[in-house]
Structure 1
Amino acid sequence: MRKVLIGGLCVSLIAGLSACNNPTTAVKSPEASQTATAVSQALGSGIEFAHFDNSIRPQDDFYQYVNGTWLKNTEIPSDRTSIGAFYDLREKSRDDVKAIIEQVAAMPNLIIGSDEQKVADLYRSFMDTATLNKLGISPIQGELDAIAALKDKNELVRYFAHSQIIGGGTPMAFYIDIDAKNSSRYATHLYQYGLSLPEKDYYFNQAERFVNIRKAYLAHIEKMFTLAGLANPKASAETILALETAIAEKHWDVVQTRDSTKTYNLYQVKDLPKLAPDIDWTGYLAVLGADKQTDIIINQPSYIQGLNEIIKTTDLATWQTYLQWQTLTRAASNLTEALDNENFAFFAKTLNGQAEPEPRWKRGVATVNSLLGEVVGKVYVKRHFTPQAKERMQALVENLRGAYGDSIKELTWMSDATKVAAADKLAKFNPKIGYPNKWEDYSKLTIKADDLFGNATRASQVEHSKSLAKLGAPIDRDEWHMTPQTVNAYYNPTMNEIVFPAAILQPPFFNLQADDAVNYGGIGAVIGHEMGHGFDDQGAKFDGEGNMRDWWTEQDLKEFSERGKALIAQYNGYSVFDDLHVNGSLTLGENIGDLSGVTIAYRAYKKSLNGKEAPVIDGLTGDQRFFIGFTQIWRAKAKEEALRNRVATDPHSPAEFRALGALSNMPEFYTTYDVKPGDAMYIAPEKRVKIW
């Protein structure tokens, strides 16, 4: 497992985290903007008018006004839990990758060990259900035997470490990442882990929905144990749920775990026995290969203390049953069709409302993307991303950077001293666009056409070895945490970098055939969003070098905090369902990113006009096109079950509130659409939130 404090644009897929194609799409650089009017007249508006619902007043619900007809008429496919702009692009990216894989797989006489052989055989290993059915649970039998052979609690803890290395389940997750308070070095970290349900509240909430989920989860475990031929399915299910509930009780909640201050706790390894005396730290770290490190960052110390008590008071047989389950459930999609289907029935259908599984080829593509992503990414870039697109994206990023700098200078609530530090951080942003400068090396990974579980296990082992090699080494500034074919984007505070994979650079985000206004509203707001993460409630704790330190004056920090509290209150007021509201505290960072992104993108758009009036295209002014362009990128629908899970666990607000929340705070939106008191989107001027 790898935890990285990354602010992302993503609208998370419930069935799996993405956790951002049009290669010729472009925006004009500032130098070209003097001809903007003439060029724009030859371009379309980029607005998807067929999606509008003109029965809705834009002043009351701009999201429904722009997307309402699409929302009414569009059905979510039975093999998906969500549909919309992001999801459609992800489908296209998957189609593009499938074409690459199939072309590679059709090549004759592939050389064993070559990238091409690995891609072809990994895909084949996933698609070959006949072999998977024949193998049964034999691929995991070695792990089940090792679990059964555990003799004491020290061996149990050492098995936790082993399970971590092979990608199995464990109640604590070890990972290596940059030290948030010393960004010149890599450090070891521990993070709470070990639950099968989405979040701790699922184990305790007494509302009918959660009670029914727990009943279904018990039945699912029992069914999985039965299909696998494991002993005592019913009793084992009860044992597993009881232990996971005890673990969940010690977990921090989703709001606490996104607090970078609270989760930075540096311990000397020699002092770990004081924190958790019943955990064999020497054996645990030795198995991981990290026993030479003198310190470790514990994200949730009270959880480790609580886990210590659970290990101490829970008998070994109970832990063995739990580990059987963790091994089985995490391998399920790589085993028989029967186990795979039952895994789908609970985690996708019951939890998220997905009516039927995706075609197997889609999941095969996802597996290749996951384990060999940059091998495929190299080909994807050649086919779908041109140098011209990268150059034009770089120009747009610099335009947004300049607009952000101007905005910082003009802030009335921030002192000059803090403005200097903020401007320094902005100047040190490192934009990464399209694809890495240095591609991932997969030479040590062995892939076999008849060993899907082994392929996944070996990939996890290779990844662990690569992470270990970072300890004591210089920071790898070329590393990416998303592949080029990922439709998403992210900000990484310890690297102070904003990253835009190639696949997001296509309509409705980035459109060569459209006037600048819609591009600034789309990809411009995406760029601004990622820049905004550098100055959200967590990103603002990090300086331009990527170190978490206090660079604010006391008064400025107070002012910043008050604005954040106002945004929390605003989003807490948004009702997703009659019994469910947005969690303003959980979503604060992303909401700051959205508000900052569209605000700075608008400023950059106006700056690009060089004082000239934007042309009217398709009856719309430039400002109208900008705001519509922003709102149409959030077009989305989700199954109720999936949306409820998302609200409970995802730091992003639901799509409609990402549009409405940001625009309701922008004075320019009020002017453009004549929003007045009494209109549903109206917020009194003194209550509107402006941060950056």
Structure 2
Amino acid sequence: MPTPRPLALALLLALAAGLAAPDGHAAKKPAAKKAKAPAASAACADFYANANADWLKANPMPDSGAISSLGQLTARAQQQQRDLLDAAMNAPQGNVQKLLGDFWASGLDEAAVERDGANPVAPLLKRIDGIRKTGDVAPAIAALHQVGIPALFNFSADVDLRELDRHLGYFAQGGLGLPDPAYYTRGDADTQALLARYADYIRRILTLTGIPAKDLERETALVLDLEKRIAAAERPLVELRDPKANFAPVATAGLGKQYRNLQLDAFLKVQGVSDDTVSIANPALFARLDALVGGLKPAQWKTYLRWRVGDAMAPYLAKPWRDASFDFRGKVLRGETQPAPRWQQTLEAINLAAGPMLGREYAARYLPDATRRQAVDIADHVRDALVRNIGNSTWMSDAVKAEARSKLGKLRIEVGTPRRDLDYSVQPMGRGSFGGNMLIASTWRHREEMKRIGRGNADRRWDVLPQQPALAYDLAQNRLIVTAAMLQAPVLDAAMPQAAQYGAYGALVGHELSHAVDARGRMVDAGGDLRDWWTSTEAAAWDANAQKAAALYDGFAYPQLKGAKVNGRITRDENIADIAGLELARAALVAAGPAGGADADKAFYRGWAQVWAQQVTVDEAQRRSLQDVRAPGQWRSNGPVMQQGAFGSAFACKAGTPMQPPAQQRVGIFR
């Protein structure tokens, strides 16, 4: 199935006390007649709790995990996808909906899936059975990649770090059934127990592919032997986290001679790639793989490739296949207790193999033109606010200000769906074979992914799907991405007051746009070149402010955890972006005028706070406190609000109350 991009999204996307004292005459009233504290007092003590009181009451603490307003948005988007697919199944409007409706119907029809058995993979297994000699192995591997089943290694499109408007094909390590190469080499008891469970899983899948019982032990041993050989040549996962370490461009000319047994020149041709350069960050691995293809018997490769097909396709075939996959991958590797409902499994499969198709129809159905225009307008206003604030900055030099303004002037705002549509010509699916449809869709998506490779194609599509809520700054392409699914309450809804739209959606936009010119954005200049365009003066000023922000959040009590504090160091960058986002949205709202007074300001801040409503159990809070790079919802809400004097004016908060620290203690980013 479609493989992860080797650079991931780490580098390139940006895919976080007591009540005020009552007044004197109220304090003298008899206790039985004591008046409630004014609303302003509650807002000035803990604005998050005040703004989200109704939500918190209506959404009690779950038994485990967490619930949140953004999580509810995601669940709503998922239900919308179901509704769309139901409609496409019953009354499709156009060719794409016909494809999606048939795909959906075939997945929901469990009886048909059972009748279909292993038929979807029969042609692939037949192709593998045709391997007779060493020269047959590489073409079989290339054919599996073409249908979205990576074997032996991974190959995908990702950005060229020398030319950010270009994508290269990346040859990367893969081909293993376990997620970490270290599993194959460690000798501790837990790892050995895992390997034993893995061997059982291999036996079950090989049996289902037609391997006779008498040959199972030998064939399973052949798979494990080959995977151990591959794993021994692969790098530890920790070494794959550095994007630059995974980037090593080489000319495609000569690859066929250098890797004769892998036939990488022919491989590229089969994938539809004709570029002059690819990336091979670990040539020693591919030399080893080339030697394995040439040195091992074709029979061992046949068994390994049968296993790769069976493992990849098991979730989409009849129940014995699904059970085998879930018993190992679900229960053992992911810790799940039972499979997801059938509809959810089918929806996940469609998003995996045909996600861009579904996204196109989702946006057409659920994103009104008026909402799209409003989202673009607000984003434009927030960008303009950032440009103005940079111009007034006291910590940027004139040259750095000019570079920042130039970069923001070139920034693109893409809302709803990618600007460039895909080619939806694809083999008709029909409703008779869910597994067959999965292969058809995976082949289509792989084809479209391969079209990203080459100059001028890096913006071909997003790394998120329109039907999945997301708002991110794409550093490589200098663009803001807002998916169709994100434009719903509590982020942006037509029923929300305009000020609340700025407080919620506008502040999230500001959060992301700040990344264009912050300590991360400084690494890509206005021309799209990788270079640091700050001087040591800007770097020192940023670091000093960042330390102030980290110290601020270090002082916040972690909700649900007695005696624990927020880790201001690991949450620092997201906290800074939150503070920047709210200040930019506030500036944009004021500039958009006319001024709405205290009522508009209250709506603005409530819009922000209501984005972060959540209920998190103690166990989940403990886990997040140790590793989450985002602060808990209470402080994502309150932390940035505390930095704004306008909040105190709107809610009549006196200086020194919890939500209005003295001005000299506040943190500002671009103001």
TM-score interval, normalised by the smaller of the two chains: 0.7 to 0.9
Letter in 2 for 1:308: A
CA apart distance, 1:561? 7.2
Per the alignment, residue 86 of structure 1 pairs with: 70
* Closer, same or farther: CA 243–522 of 1 in aligned 2, 3 Å: farther
* Closer, same or farther: CA 576–370 of 1 in aligned 2, 3 Å: farther
Task: State the alpha-carbon separation in 2 of the partners of residues 60 and 96 from structure 1.
Answer: 29
Per the alignment, residue 20 of structure 2 pairs with: none
Per the alignment, residue 519 of structure 1 pairs with: 501
Task: State the alpha-carbon separation in 1 of the partners of residues 163 and 537 from structure 2.
Answer: 26
Task: State the alpha-carbon separation in 1 of the partners of residues 86 and 343 from structure 2.
Answer: 10
CA apart distance, 1:530? 3.0
CA apart distance, 1:434? 2.0
CA apart distance, 1:394? 1.4
Superposition pairs of residues 324-335 of structure 1, within 5 angstroms: 324-335=306-317
Segment of structure 1 superposing worse, 547-556 or 400-409: 547-556
Task: State the alpha-carbon separation in 2 of the partners of residues 213 and 582 from structure 1.
Answer: 36
* Closer, same or farther: CA 195–471 of 1 in aligned 2, 3 Å: closer
Q: Does residue 668 of the first structure (1) align with residue 643 of the second (2)?
A: yes
Task: State the alpha-carbon separation in 1 of the partners of residues 148 and 327 from structure 2.
Answer: 22
* Closer, same or farther: CA 104–639 of 1 in aligned 2, 3 Å: farther
TM-score (norm 1): 0.72
Indicate if the aligned counterparts of 1:277 and 1:308 stay in contact, CA closer than 8 A: no
Indicate if the aligned counterparts of 1:173 and 1:191 stay in contact, CA closer than 8 A: yes
CA apart distance, 1:336? 0.8
Task: State the alpha-carbon separation in 2 of the partners of residues 149 and 646 from structure 1.
Answer: 54
* Closer, same or farther: CA 665–88 of 1 in aligned 2, 3 Å: closer
> Equivalent residue of 1:510, what SS?
coil
CA apart distance, 1:166? 0.9
Q: Does residue 74 of the first structure (1) align with residue 62 of the second (2)?
A: yes
Task: State the alpha-carbon separation in 2 of the partners of residues 521 and 257 from structure 1.
Answer: 38
Letter in 2 for 1:282: D
CA RMSD of aligned residues (A): 5.2
Per the alignment, residue 20 of structure 1 pairs with: none
CA apart distance, 1:401? 0.6
CA apart distance, 1:165? 1.2
Indicate if the aligned counterparts of 2:514 and 2:577 stay in contact, CA closer than 8 A: yes
* Closer, same or farther: CA 569–336 of 1 in aligned 2, 3 Å: farther
Give the counterpart of 2:151 among 167, 170, 190. Answer: 170
Per the alignment, residue 142 of structure 2 pairs with: 161
Task: State the alpha-carbon separation in 1 of the partners of residues 599 and 160 from structure 2.
Answer: 50
Indicate if the aligned counterparts of 1:591 and 1:658 stay in contact, CA closer than 8 A: no
Task: State the alpha-carbon separation in 1 of the partners of residues 304 and 618 from structure 2.
Answer: 31
Per the alignment, residue 47 of structure 1 pairs with: none
Superposition pairs of residues 410-429 of structure 1, within 5 angstroms: 410-429=392-411
> Equivalent residue of 1:615, what SS?
helix
Segment of structure 1 superposing worse, 542-551 or 489-498: 542-551
CA apart distance, 1:397? 0.3
Letter in 2 for 1:305: A
Per the alignment, residue 249 of structure 2 pairs with: 266
Give the counterpart of 2:414 among 407, 410, 432. Answer: 432
* Closer, same or farther: CA 139–420 of 1 in aligned 2, 3 Å: same
What does the per-residue CA deviation read over 1:624-671, in whole Å, with 9 as the maximum and x for residues that have no partner? 525523422xx36599799979999xxxx3665476479657761799
Task: State the alpha-carbon separation in 2 of the partners of residues 205 and 681 from structure 1.
Answer: 54
Matched-pair identity in %? 22
Per the alignment, residue 390 of structure 1 pairs with: 372
Q: Does residue 601 of the first structure (1) align with residue 585 of the second (2)?
A: yes
CA apart distance, 1:225? 3.7
Task: State the alpha-carbon separation in 1 of the partners of residues 659 and 190 from structure 2.
Answer: 31
CA apart distance, 1:398? 1.2
Per the alignment, residue 403 of structure 1 pairs with: 385
Task: State the alpha-carbon separation in 1 of the partners of residues 377 and 277 from structure 2.
Answer: 42
Q: Does residue 287 of the first structure (1) align with residue 270 of the second (2)?
A: yes
Segment of structure 1 superposing worse, 340-349 or 414-423: 340-349
Per the alignment, residue 362 of structure 1 pairs with: 344
> Equivalent residue of 1:173, what SS?
strand
What does the per-residue CA deviation read over 1:473-503, in whole Å, with 9 as the maximum and x for residues that have no partner? 7548564444433222333333222121222
Per the alignment, residue 89 of structure 2 pairs with: 105
Give the counterpart of 1:457 among 413, 429, 439. Answer: 439
Indicate if the aligned counterparts of 1:158 and 1:284 stay in contact, CA closer than 8 A: yes
> Equivalent residue of 1:356, what SS?
coil
CA apart distance, 1:505? 1.0
Higher relative contact order (CA 8 A, sep 6+): 1
Task: State the alpha-carbon separation in 2 of the partners of residues 69 and 236 from structure 1.
Answer: 58
Per the alignment, residue 470 of structure 2 pairs with: 488
What does the per-residue CA deviation read over 1:230-274, in whole Å, with 9 as the maximum and x for residues that have no partner? 465566666656765665566566665454444432222347589
Gaps of 5+ in 1: 12-53
Indicate if the aligned counterparts of 1:490 and 1:499 stay in contact, CA closer than 8 A: yes
* Closer, same or farther: CA 85–296 of 1 in aligned 2, 3 Å: same
Per the alignment, residue 34 of structure 2 pairs with: none
Per the alignment, residue 285 of structure 2 pairs with: 306
Q: Does residue 548 of the first structure (1) align with residue 536 of the second (2)?
A: no
CA apart distance, 1:215? 5.7
* Closer, same or farther: CA 589–260 of 1 in aligned 2, 3 Å: farther
Indicate if the aligned counterparts of 2:96 and 2:357 stay in contact, CA closer than 8 A: yes
> Equivalent residue of 1:176, what SS?
strand
Q: Does residue 341 of the first structure (1) align with residue 323 of the second (2)?
A: yes
What does the per-residue CA deviation read over 1:128-182, in whole Å, with 9 as the maximum and x for residues that have no partner? 3223223322322333344455456664444333222111133432233553422
CA apart distance, 1:404? 2.0
> Equivalent residue of 1:668, what SS?
coil
* Closer, same or farther: CA 381–461 of 1 in aligned 2, 3 Å: closer
Indicate if the aligned counterparts of 1:334 and 1:452 stay in contact, CA closer than 8 A: yes
Equivalenced residues, count: 629
> Equivalent residue of 1:508, what SS?
coil
CA apart distance, 1:308? 3.1
Letter in 1 for 2:83: A
Segment of structure 1 superposing worse, 181-190 or 657-666: 657-666
* Closer, same or farther: CA 267–480 of 1 in aligned 2, 3 Å: same
What does the per-residue CA deviation read over 1:346-402, in whole Å, with 9 as the maximum and x for residues that have no partner? 334444444433321233334444444455545544442222111211121012112
> Equivalent residue of 1:520, what SS?
helix
Superposition pairs of residues 50-61 of structure 1, within 5 angstroms: 58=46
* Closer, same or farther: CA 464–203 of 1 in aligned 2, 3 Å: same
CA apart distance, 1:431? 0.7
Per the alignment, residue 112 of structure 2 pairs with: 131
Task: State the alpha-carbon separation in 2 of the partners of residues 235 and 582 from structure 1.
Answer: 54
CA apart distance, 1:206? 9.2
Indicate if the aligned counterparts of 1:494 and 1:546 stay in contact, CA closer than 8 A: yes
Task: State the alpha-carbon separation in 1 of the partners of residues 187 and 51 from structure 2.
Answer: 34
* Closer, same or farther: CA 358–639 of 1 in aligned 2, 3 Å: farther
* Closer, same or farther: CA 10–437 of 1 in aligned 2, 3 Å: closer
Letter in 1 for 2:74: R
Indicate if the aligned counterparts of 2:107 and 2:346 stay in contact, CA closer than 8 A: yes
Superposition pairs of residues 585-664 of structure 1, within 5 angstroms: 594=578, 596-605=580-589, 613-615=597-599, 621=602, 625=606, 627-632=608-613, 635=614, 653=628, 656-657=631-632, 660=635, 664=639
CA apart distance, 1:527? 1.6
Per the alignment, residue 531 of structure 1 pairs with: 513
Task: State the alpha-carbon separation in 2 of the partners of residues 115 and 145 from structure 1.
Answer: 31
Task: State the alpha-carbon separation in 2 of the partners of residues 588 and 267 from structure 1.
Answer: 38
What does the per-residue CA deviation read over 1:489-535, in whole Å, with 9 as the maximum and x for residues that have no partner? 33333322212122211111123444455433432233223324434
